[in-house]
Amino acid sequence: MYFSDTQRVKNLSPYEKLCPYCILIIKNVILHQNLMIMENKKLFEQVSFPKLTLKNRFVRSGVWMKMADEQGHITPELKDVYKSLVDGGVGLIITEYTFIDKYDQPNPGMIGMYDDLFIDEWKEIIDYAHANGTKIACQIAAGGSQSGLEEAKQRRIMGPSAVLNRVSGITPAEMNEDDFNRLIENHKNAALRVKRAGFDAVQIHAAHGYLLSQFLTPYYNRRTDKYGGSLHNRTRIIYDVVSAVRSAVGDDYTVMIKVNMDDFMAEGEGLTFPESLEMFKHLDTLGLDFIEPSGANISAGNGIIQSFPRIARSVEKQSYFKEQVTEIAKNIKTPVILVGGNRNTTVMTDLLNNAGIPLFSFGRTLFSEPDLINKWVDNPDYVPKCVACNKCWDTTPNSCILNRKRK
């Protein structure tokens, strides 16, 4: 016993009867718990990464607005869209996908980055974002055979293999070495234009069934050379594009990628999550600054598209890629961005503190309410009005059906 006075021991509290070593352990546990409470991360706090500091953890994910002119130039209406996102409080804006080859435009009304002429026209938007503490990135994309542009059917469209596209009905030409070199060069040149324009980052689009994504998908990629077959062969062109973009913009510039982690296609047809986990481990070695894993491929033929419907009233169905992205975050060091059905601040706060997910991106909800982040600042329990109906793309330009009803 550590006390000689028996009567004094009887009068001690249970805590005081413990040996000094036990007391020290308890004090350390209490101190650790207090530190953990103090260190809890918050959605609305400023967050700093090696090359980018954001005013909060909210990201506007790339969403096609269908508002650019026929050549891909910005319209006054499109400027208003981006300014409303800045005013709405989001920390980082990722533009809709921009086409990087004049003759490879996935959809009408897309913005372009295939020529130096596009560089200066972004100055007004970028300056407005920076003046209000918002960062902005440009997403660059190659479309391939997944094209909704009527003229594409009369053009030579590239693809991993000469396989009929289930969405567009286009059968592309199987890419040769010159095509690969041009594809890589297009990404390099577009990334340099993005940097010269003053964007804070460039994001490579390798998701949702467009050209780079098609290489991941066995249904579209039936090659037997170094670009087909095994996972890392199918992913080789993505690795090459990432490396080329990094080399072009330099080590001090922020490079991101949006890439499928699962095609959700029939067995043997699409990329699967266990496969993609190995891809993410390799991407982690290539000097990327952020990875935004996404999923689904409208070529699946089963009604699944990248924006899952009918999730508005079910918190359990929201943040619907959380399990996969949590697993990815465990296996890589590159910060991940969780996209897909993020609607509840309590859910996101839990994922932020317990799943290693530092950023959360939004598509349809900001389409419906560009000021959603400001509303959450005032009331974290606010429920977004978006009903996840996927009717956003039914009009030209694209718009939320709830906003259309009020007009």
> Do the Cβ atoms of 204 and 242 come closer than 8 Å?
yes
Q: What is the mean pLDDT of residues 260-283?
A: 95
Cα gap 93→73, rounded to integer Å:
18
Cα gap 3→10, rounded to integer Å:
10
Q: Report pLDDT digits (tens) over 229-271.
A: 999 999 999 999 999 999 999 999 999 999 999 999 989 999 9
Instruction: Give the model's pLDDT for residue 393.
Output: 76
Whole-model pTM: value is 0.88
Q: Over 60: is that where the pLDDT of 317 sits?
A: yes
Average pLDDT, the chain: 89
> Do the Cβ atoms of 159 and 173 come closer than 8 Å?
yes
Q: Of 388, 218, 375, 219, give the one whose Cα is nearest residue 313.
A: 388
> Do the Cβ atoms of 73 and 39 come closer than 8 Å?
no
**What is the four-CA torsion angle of 268, 270, 274, 278, rounded to 10 degrees?**
120
> Do the Cβ atoms of 58 and 89 come closer than 8 Å?
yes
Residue in the structure block whose two tokens are 């509303």: 375
Q: Which tokens belong to 68?
A: 């650019």
Model confidence at 105, pLDDT cuts 50, 70, 90, reads very high
Q: Helix and strand tally (H, E) in the chain?
A: 14, 13
Cα gap 245→202, rounded to integer Å:
9
Instruction: Give the model's pLDDT for residue 39.
Output: 65
Q: Report pLDDT digits (tens) over 110-163.
A: 999 999 999 999 999 999 999 999 999 999 999 999 887 788 777 899 999 999
340 vs 205: which has the higher pLDDT: 205
Domains of the chain, earliest start first: 48-405 (3.20.20.70)
Instruction: Give the model's pLDDT for residue 6.
Output: 45
Q: Report pLDDT digits (tens) over 286-313.
A: 999 999 999 977 766 554 566 666 666 6
> Do the Cβ atoms of 97 and 82 come closer than 8 Å?
no
CA distances from 371 to 9, 87, 89, 91, 341 (A): 63, 7, 6, 12, 17
Q: Give, rounded to a whole angstrom, the gap between the first and last alpha carbons of the chain.
A: 81
Which of 35-44, 285-294, 372-381 is predicted with the least confidence, judged by mean pLDDT? 35-44
Question: Residue 294: how many CB atoms within 10 A of its CB?
Answer: 27
Instruction: Give the model's pLDDT for residue 9.
Output: 43
> Do the Cβ atoms of 140 and 96 come closer than 8 Å?
no
In terms of C-beta density within 10 A (0-12 exposed, 13-18 middle, 19 or more buried), how is residue 24 classed?
Answer: exposed
Q: Of 112, 117, 106, give the one whose Cα is nearest residue 207.
A: 106
Instruction: Give the model's pLDDT for residue 366.
Output: 94
User: Which helix or strand (DSSP H or E) is residue 58 part of?
Assistant: strand 58-60
Model confidence at 35, pLDDT cuts 50, 70, 90, reads very low
Q: Over 70: is that where the pLDDT of 168 sits?
A: yes
Chain centroid to Cα 263, Å, comes to 16
List, in order, residues 6 or more apart from 210 with CB less than 8 Å away: 97, 106, 141, 142, 143, 144, 146
Cα gap 199→182, rounded to integer Å:
24
Instruction: Give the model's pLDDT for residue 75.
Output: 97
